[in-house]
Chains A and B, each alone.
Chain A
Amino acid sequence: MKTITRTSGLAAALLASTVLFAGTAIGQEVNFWYHFDNADNPMSDLVAKFEAANPGITINAENVPWNSYYDQLYTSIVADNGPDVAMVKMTAQPRLIEMGALEPIDDRLAGWAGKADIQDDLFNLTAAADGTHYYLPVQYVILYLYYRADLFADAGLTPPTTCDEFRSAAVALTKDTNGDGQIDQYGFGFRGGKGGHDHWASFTVSRDGVGFGPGELTSAAGVAGTQFVLGLFQKDKVFPPSAPNDGFKEVIGAFQGGTTAMTIHHIGSSADMVKALGDKVSAVPVPECGGGHWTAFGDESTAVFSAAEDKDAAWKWTAFLSSEGNNAKFNEATGQLPVTKSDTANWTLHDKRFVDATTASLPFAHLYPNVSETADFTNTVWPIAMQRALIGEITAEEMNAEIDALFNK
C-alpha cells in the first residue's frame, strides 16, 4: 500500500513538473533585441521587475551591436529566427511592413491604460503611412548644434542662427592655436561617414522648396545646399581633413578633445560632453539655411513582430517599457528623452541648456520620407555619394541627382 502511494505520488509529481515545465516553456518566452551603448546597462533590472510582476513570462533580452543591428534584424526575420519584440526606428518601418514582419497594435493600444501618458505628437509621428500603429515610442531626441561657448566668447562670436553666420563662425574658429603653423582647431566636425545624413540635411533639405520629392533636390536651391557643404570642406577647409570617413566616434571624440568648435548631435551625448568639457559646451538649434529650418527627429520605438509566438506576452513587455517609471529608467541608460508625460515632468537627468535646445528645435524637427528607400538612403546611397562628393569624385549636382533618383524612380 505504502509502495503504491509512493509510486503514485512520484508519478503525480513528475506529471505536475512536466505540466509546469511545458507551461513555462511554450509561448511564455519573449525574445527582445535592443541596442545600448551605455556600459551601465539597466536592462536586467527592468527584466527582473517585469518578470516579478508577470510570473510565467521570461524575457530574453539581447543587446545587439548597433553597427550591424538592422542587417541582423532583416536577415533574422527572413530566416524565421527573429526577435518577438525589438527596438526600431521609423526609417526601418516601411521595409518591415513590406516584409509583413510587424504586428498592428491599434486594438491593444485602445485598451491600454498607459496610452494617455504617452506624448501625443509621438503617436502621430510613429504611425505608418496608412495611419496604422505598429510602433510604441520608447525614447526620442532631436538633433541640435553643439558649440564651444568658451571659444565663441573668446572670438567675440554669438552662436549662429543662419547658414551665413554659421560659415563665418566656422571660418573664424578654424585656426592654428599653438603657433606651430598647423591648423589644430576646426570650425565644424562634419560626419561624412554612415549616419551623417542628418548634418547634410540640416544644410540642404532646410532650403525653401527642397525635400525628397521629384526634382526638389536637383533644383537650384537643392544643389546650393550640397554645394554649401562641399564649399565648407573644399574651399573654407573648416572640417577636419578626415571628415569624409568620420563617423559618430570620430566626430564626438574630436569635439570633446577640442579639435572642433561645433558639431551636430543630440541630447544623448550631452552627459559625456559635459563630463569632458564642463561649462565650455552648450547647444542651440541648427542654423536656418536658405529660407527654411530643418533638423532630424531621432525616434526609437519598440514593435511586436508578427512571428512572435506569444503576442500577448510580447505586448505586455512592450507596454511595460513605455510606462511611467520604467521609461525613465530606460532613458537614464540611453541618455535620451522619455516618452511618457509623467516621466518628462520629473526629468532631471540632462542639463537645462540641452533640454532647451531640444525643445526649441521641435517646431522644425522632421522625419525622413516614410518609404522603403529611406533605408537605402541612410545605409548606402547617402554615405557613398557624400564621400565621393567631398573627395571631388562627383559634383553637388551629381550627388543630389543620385538621391533624387533613389526616392523618385
Chain B
Amino acid sequence: MSTTVVPPAPLSRRVLPYVMLSPAVLVTLAIVFLPMVQAVWMSLHDYVLFRPKDFAFVGLKNFIAVFQDPVFWVSLQHTAIWIAVTVPAQMLLGLATALLLNQNFPWRGLARALVIIPWALPSVVIALMWVWIYDANFGVLNDFLLRMNLISTSIPWLANPDTALYAIILTLTWQGFPFFAVMILAGLQAIPASYYEAAAIDGASSFRQFWHITLPGLSGVLMTATLLRLIWVANSIDVIFIMTGGGPGYSTYTLPLYALVEARTGLDYGYGSALAVVFTILLLGFVVLYLRRAGRNIA
C-alpha cells in the first residue's frame, strides 16, 4: 500500500491569489480608506483652506464645538426626520407597486419598465423638475390644488420652513421607490407558487397568504434593500442642495449637507471634517445594529 504525499503548493501558487486581488485592494485603500483617514486627521486640526499654512493640531476642539453648535442639533433632527420618513415611505410605496406589478395584466412588461424611470433619472434633473412643480407662481402643484379649491392661496412649498423639508422628502420618495419595487418584485418571483396553492386549499384568505407567505418570503430582500437605502438616503445631499441649498435659513439642513457647506463653501475643512466624522460614527452604530439584526433574522 502506497501513500501519496501531496506536495506543498509552490510559493508562487500561494501568492498568486493575493497578487491578483491586490490591484482592487490597493484602489479601494487609495480612494476609500485614505480619504477617510485624512478626514479624521483633518478633523483634529484647525484647517481653513484659505490659510493653508496654519494647520495646527487642536485635538478634540472641533468635536467639542460640534456638540455645542445649535446648527448641528437642528441638522441632526432634520437628518432623523429625513431618514425616518423617506425610507419607510419608499418601502411601502415600493411594496405596493411590486405587488401590483406581480399581477397578471396586459402591458405588464411596459408597466415594469416605466416604473423604473424615476430611479433612472439623474438626481439633478429630478431636483430641478420638482422645483418647478413646487414653484409658488407657476408650479403645477399649486395650480392643481387651487383649481380643486383645496387651498385658497399659493403655498411657497420650498420657501416655507414648515413644508420645505417634507416637500423634498416627497421628491426623494418618488425618486427612490422604484428601487424597492424592483427588488421586492424579484423577491416575490422567488416565492414558490405551490405555497400559495397549498394555503388556498387550506382556506387561507388573501391577507393571511400575504402575512404568512409573502412577507416572510420577502424578509431577506426587505432587510437588504432597507439597509442599503438607509445608508444612501442618509448620505444623499444632491437633491436637497439643488432644491433649497439647505434653506430657507437652516430649514432643510441635514448633517451631510452641513458638513459640505462648512467645508466646500465656508472652506473650513477642519470643522467640516469633524461634522462628517461624527455623522459617520452615528451612521456606523446604526448600521452595525441593523446588520446584526438582519444577520440573525436571515439565519
Contact = CB atoms under 8 A, between A and B. Distances in A.
A384 B252 CA distance: 12
A257 interface: yes
Contact of A193 (B153, B247, B251, B264): B247
B250 interface: yes
B49 A74 contact: yes
Contacts of B155: 241
A241 B136 contact: yes
B153 A393 contact: no
A392 B93 CA distance: 35
Given A194-B245, A372-B50, A380 B154 contact: no
Given A380-B265, A391-B248, A242 B52 contact: no
Give the most central of A192, A242, A243: most B CB within 10 Å: A242
Interface stretch (B158-166, B201-209, B278-286): B158-166
A98 B161 CA distance: 37
B272 to A, nearest CB: 12
Given A182-B146, A380-B265, A245 B159 contact: yes
A182 B249 contact: no
Contacts of B52: 78, 99
B266 interface: yes
B51 interface: yes
Contacts of A357: none
A154 interface: no
B224 interface: no
B217 interface: no
Contact of A240 (B136, B247, B267): B136
Interface in A363-402: 372, 376, 379-380, 383-384, 387-388, 390-391, 393
B266 A380 contact: yes
A143 B149 CA distance: 41
A402 B136 CA distance: 30
Contact of A245 (B146, B244, B250, B266): B244
A241 B138 contact: no
A23 B152 CA distance: 71
A388 B159 CA distance: 11
A390 B156 contact: no
Contacts of B261: 380
A240 B137 CA distance: 8
A190 B154 CA distance: 18
Contact of A74 (B50, B160, B251): B50
B264 A391 contact: no
Given A241-B154, A244-B159, A391-B160, A379 B265 contact: yes
A81 to B, nearest CB: 13
Give the most central of A244, A245, A246, A390: most B CB within 10 Å: A245
A242 B50 contact: no
Contacts of B267: 74-75
Contacts of A71: 264-265
A182 B50 CA distance: 49
Contacts of A175: none
Given A245-B159, A246-B159, 8 more contacts: A68-B264, A99-B52, A244-B247, A254-B137, A257-B138, A387-B248, A391-B159, A391-B161
Interface of B: 49-52, 135-138, 146, 152-156, 158-161, 244-245, 247-251, 261, 264-267
11 contacts: A182-B146, A241-B159, A242-B135, A242-B159, A380-B261, A383-B247, A384-B250, A387-B249, A390-B248, A393-B161, A393-B249
Top 7 nearest A-B pairs by Cβ distance? A388-B249, A387-B248, A244-B248, A241-B156, A242-B136, A242-B156, A245-B159
